[in-house]
């Protein structure tokens, strides 16, 4: 059985993130810009109008095939802006201060930085080939970028806006997850069917854990004890003990899942199942599927998933939509038309 091919220019799926608190290079110009936080106000009376505030209550969706980012108001579920992005935008993440959103441009091997105050791309940083999964440290000071075409993870100092380490991992890494306390980074290596565990103190791989065939997504439970891995070819979600490094249980999903996300309270995991167009809810205590919701017919392709306290968001790559689901009822509450081939999701 061959894994389902994703709509992307290379084997690695792409995404990265970067906190723009240092000097950045403006895309395509070679010029440097200094963030707003570094600009000193002139002496004299305060200006009549304050600088735009960071945007909260937004959902950001990368549209891989048309090189754009959709900005959605989470209260109204309406698209408020469509922003030109870099080449082949895939993964996306929001900084903890909600001031910036970071986009992995898989086609150019860079991470772009978006200011949420005005929806402008303010700069970019070069990383590895085909940047894919991304994760920020809890304080937003370090960005981890899975480079699917380089078999590596780039570590970006978000204050200095530069890569400080490049860590060899397994074959074709596509997703990452950082523990809530920032003490470990888990990397899903789809080509070598395993997980690399990075120690952020040393920027070295300290363990390699087993996974299923073609692991394409990873999420860590709030208690750090369990790591959830979506295995596309195995059509399952593996639960790996972070203490023993062993798979403790495998949850069949019926068809190949392409993403997995934990509810903020850790009581449920959600998997996006490509073929039948389903999202399944897994009870993290019993490790059984408790509920299933269908998002549409075959070809809808629920691709990436993000869970907040108030909503579950699913990027439907085939349908060109973002589906919004209520966590309490697991019913669809909205379907939002976005761009062509939506990929990653970030929330503020």
- 5-33: per-residue pLDDT in tens? 354 433 333 333 333 333 333 333 333 33
- The average pLDDT across 330-339 equals 98
What is the Cα–Cα distance from 130 to 121, expressed in whole angstroms? 20
| Percent of the chain whose pLDDT exceeds 90 | 80
Residue 184 has pLDDT above 60, yes or no: yes
Taking CA 295 as the corner, what is the angle to CA 294 and CA 300, rounded to the nearest 5 degrees?
A: 125
Which is more confident, 343 or 25? Answer: 343
Q: Tokens for 115?
A: 């200011």
Helices (H) and strands (E) in the chain, counts: 0, 30
* Pick among 3.40.50.11540, 2.130.10.10, 2.40.30.200, 3.40.50.620: CATH of 24-30+56-347: 2.130.10.10
Task: Give residue 118's pLDDT.
Answer: 95
Task: Give residue 52's pLDDT.
Answer: 66
Task: Give residue 262's pLDDT.
Answer: 97
35 neighbors 22 (Cβ within 8 angstroms): yes
In this predicted model, what pLDDT tens digit does every residue of 46-103 receive, in sequence order? Answer: 333 345 677 789 999 999 999 999 999 999 999 999 999 999 999 999 999 999 999 9
In this predicted model, what pLDDT tens digit does every residue of 105-142 receive, in sequence order? Answer: 999 999 999 999 999 999 899 999 999 999 999 999 99
Residue spans per domain, the chain? 24-30+56-347
Nearest Cα to Cα of residue 61 among 309, 331, 305, 326: 305
Residue 331 has pLDDT above 80, yes or no: yes
- The average pLDDT across 225-252 equals 95
Task: Give residue 51's pLDDT.
Answer: 53
What is the Cα–Cα distance from 118 to 302, expressed in whole angstroms? 29
What is the Cα–Cα distance from 152 to 163, expressed in whole angstroms? 12
* pTM for this entry: 0.85
CA 96 to chain centre: 14
Q: Tokens for 320?
A: 């060109």
Task: Give residue 55's pLDDT.
Answer: 75
| Percent of the chain whose pLDDT exceeds 70 | 85
N- to C-terminal Cα separation, the chain: 38
In this predicted model, what pLDDT tens digit does every residue of 277-319 receive, in sequence order? Answer: 999 999 999 999 999 999 999 899 999 999 999 999 999 999 9
DSSP 191-238: TTTEEEEEETTTTEEEEEEE--SSEEEEEE-TTSSEEEEEETTTTEEE
Q: Sorting pLDDT into bands at 50, 70 and 90, what band is 176?
A: very high
16 neighbors 149 (Cβ within 8 angstroms): no
């Amino acid at each position: 059985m061959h894994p389902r091919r994703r709509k992307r220019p290379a084997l690695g799926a792409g995404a990265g993130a970067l906190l723009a608190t240092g000097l950045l290079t403006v895309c395509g110009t070679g010029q440097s810009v200094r963030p707003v936080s570094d600009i000193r106000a002139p002496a004299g009376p305060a200006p009549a109008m304050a600088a735009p505030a960071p945007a909260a209550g937004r959902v950001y969706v990368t549209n891989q095939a048309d090189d754009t980012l959709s900005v959605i108001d989470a209260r109204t579920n309406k698209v408020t802006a469509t922003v030109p992005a870099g080449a082949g935008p895939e993964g996306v993440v929001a900084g903890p201060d909600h001031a910036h959103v970071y986009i992995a441009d898989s086609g150019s091997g860079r991470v772009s930085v978006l200011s949420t105050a005005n929806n402008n791309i303010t700069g970019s940083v070069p990383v590895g080939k085909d940047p894919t999964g991304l994760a920020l440290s809890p304080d937003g000071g370090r960005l981890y970028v899975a480079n699917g075409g380089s078999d590596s993870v780039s570590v970006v100092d978000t204050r200095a806006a530069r890569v400080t380490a490049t860590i060899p991992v397994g074959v074709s890494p596509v997703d990452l997850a950082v523990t809530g306390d920032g003490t470990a980074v888990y990397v899903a290596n789809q080509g070598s069917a395993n997980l690399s565990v990075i120690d952020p103190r040393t920027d070295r791989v300290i363990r390699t854990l087993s996974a299923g065939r073609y692991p394409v997504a990873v999420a860590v439970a709030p208690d750090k004890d369990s790591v959830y891995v979506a295995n596309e070819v195995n059509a399952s979600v593996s639960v790996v003990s972070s203490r023993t490094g062993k798979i403790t249980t495998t949850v069949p999903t019926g068809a190949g899942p392409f993403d997995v996300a934990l509810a903020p309270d850790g009581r449920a995991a959600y998997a996006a199942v490509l073929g039948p167009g389903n999202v399944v809810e897994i009870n993290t205590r019993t490790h059984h599927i408790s509920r299933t919701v269908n998002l549409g017919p075959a070809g809808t392709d629920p691709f990436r998933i993000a869970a907040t306290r108030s909503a579950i968001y699913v990027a439907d790559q085939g349908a060109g939509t973002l589906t919004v689901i209520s966590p309490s009822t697991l019913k669809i509450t909205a379907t939002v038309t976005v761009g062509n081939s939506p990929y990653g999701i970030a929330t503020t």
